[in-house]
Structure 1
C-alpha cells in the first residue's frame, strides 16, 4: 500500500473520531483546521470530506459543512499495522551503527540502507528526517543523507540536560507506590545486570542494550511527552559515541554495571538522596565517556 494512501486512511479515521465529539447538525471546521487536527495536507482533507459526504456523514457545500449523523464503526477504513521491520527500524539502525562503527561524516544512501534493513525507502526517509531534527543526520546537497558528528559543546549541553531529567526521574521513582510496575522492572534489571557481569569477558558488547533498558525504565516513571522523544536522542548519541572509543570498553561496561546496581540498590531501599547521588555519579561517568569518545576522534 502506498504511503499516501495510508496517510489518507489514518487522517480519515482521525477526522471521524473528531466528529464523534460533535452534536448532529454541528458545523465542521475549515479545511485548514482539519488539516492541523489530522496533521496532513488540505488535499488529503478534501479526500476525507468527499468520502464522508458520500457516506452521508456530512453535508458539504463549499465552505459550509455540517455533521448529518454520528460516525459509525463501519464508516472507518482499515489501516494496516506497521510491519515489524518498520516498527523496530530505530533499534536496528542503532545496532548497525554500533556494530559497524559508522564514523562521522559518512554518506548514507537511502537505497543502500533500504536494502540493508529490508524496509521501503519512504520509511527510511521519514526516519532520517526525524533524526535530522536533532542534528544526528543531515541532507546532502547532492542528494542522500550524511551521518554527522558532534561538537564538545553539543555533548556537554546534552549531558547536562540529561542529568536534569534523569535525576528528577530517580526522585519520582523513589516515591512510586509499591504496586508501580517500575519495581518489577528494576528487579528484572538487577538479575540481568548480574548475569551480564558474570559474562562480561565475552558479552561486554551486550551492555549497550541493557543500558538503554535501564535508563528507559527509570525515565518511564515520569509521564512527560517530551522525555520519550528525548530518550531517542540519548540512545542515538550516547550509545553511538560510547562505542566509538574501543579502548577499555570491557572495563567501562563492567564499571557501568556496578553504577547501575548502586542506583537500583538505593531505589529499592527508598533512599532518595543515595539514589540521586548514585545517579549523578553514573551520569558524570557517561559524560566523561562521551567527551572521551569525541577526543578519541579529534572532535572534542
Structure 2
C-alpha cells in the first residue's frame, strides 16, 4: 500500500499500543468510533490503519477484525517518521536552542538546517521566511540567517497575545462534552507531569519538550491557524531567552511543572475558574522569567 500520511501513522502507533496492552489474540478490535478516540484520528485515518493491519496480517479484513497475532516491534512506525517536514525543522531548531548549538546572535545557513532535518533547502527557505515574521530570526543581506534578540516591549506584546489564545483554549475545553478524547489526553499529560514533578531535580532538564507539548495540545483545541502559528513562535521565543541565564534553570523548571499540574488538575476536574486562574499565574511567571533573562542579557552585554 502507499505510504500512510503522518496523521494515520500516529493513529496506527497509538492503536498498536492499545492492542498490545488490551486485546488478546482471537478477540475483536474496538468499534470504529472507539478507535477514533483511541487513535486520536478521523474515520479516514482509522480506515487507513485497518488497511495497514490487514497488510501486516494483524486482522483478516475490514469486517473480520479479530486479532490474528500480537503486534511485533516492526509493526510500529519509527518515531522519526511521525513528523512532517515542518515539524522536523521546528524540532531541529528547538533542540539546537536547548543544547546551545545556536546561542543568541548565532548565524546559520539553509543548507545546514536542511541536512539536519532531512528536508529540502526549498522547504527550509519557505519555513524560515514564514517564521521570520515573528521576529525570532532574520535574513542576512548576503545570505544566511541569524537568531535575533528582543527588547522588553516585544516580550510584553507577545505575552499579551499569548494570554488571549491560552485562556481561550481553557474555555474551549470547558465546552467539550464529557466523553471527548481530549480529556483522556489531558489525563495522560497530567500523569507525565506528576511523574516528572516527583522525579529528582536533575530530571527537570527534560521539561522544555513537555512544556511545548502541553501548550501545543491546548492551542490545538482552538483549531485556529493563527493561534497555531503564534504558538510556534511563543515556544521558541520563551525557551530561547531562557538560554541567557542558566543559573536557576532546574528550580525554574520544577516550578513550571507544578504550575502545569495545577492547570491540568483543574481541567481534568472541569473546574474552569481554577484552570483560568492557574493559567494566568503560569503565564505571568513565564513572562517574568523571560523579562529577567532579557535584563540579564543586557547587563552581560554592558559589562562585556
**TM above 0.5, one fold?**
yes
Superposed CA offset, 1:114-166 (max 9, x none):
34444432222222112111112111112211111111110110001111111
Contact 2:266 2:275 in 1 (8 A): yes
Which residues of structure 2 form unaligned runs of 5+? 1-80
Change (3 A) 1:143 1:221: closer
TM-score, normalising length from structure 2? 0.67
Asked which structure has the greater CA Rg, the reply is 1
CA distance in 2, matches of 1:217, 1:242: 22
Bigger mean CA deviation after superposition, 177-186 or 108-117? 108-117
Q: Distance in 1 between matches of 2:86 and 2:268?
A: 37
- Correspondence 1:82-121 to 2 at 5 A: 87-100=87-100, 102-121=102-121
Alignment partner, residue 126 of structure 2: 126
Q: Scaled by the length of structure 1, what TM-score is found?
A: 0.68
- What is the aligned partner in structure 1 of residue 34 from structure 2? none
Shift in Å, 1:83: 8.3
Equivalent in the alignment of 1:262: 262
Residues 151 and 299 in structure 1, CA contact (< 8 A), matched pair in contact too? no
Matched, 1:180 2:195: no
Q: Secondary structure at the match of 1:100?
A: coil
C-alpha distance 296-89 of structure 1, shift in aligned 2 (>3 A): same
Match of 1:197 in 2: 197
Long gaps (5+) in structure 1: 1-80
> By how many angstroms is 1:284 displaced?
0.3
- Residue correspondence of structure 1 range 1-300 to structure 2 within 5 A: 87-100=87-100, 102-298=102-298
**Equivalent pairs, count:** 220
**Cα offset, 1:197, TM superposition:** 1.6
CA–CA separation in structure 2 for the residues paired with 1:141 and 1:106: 15
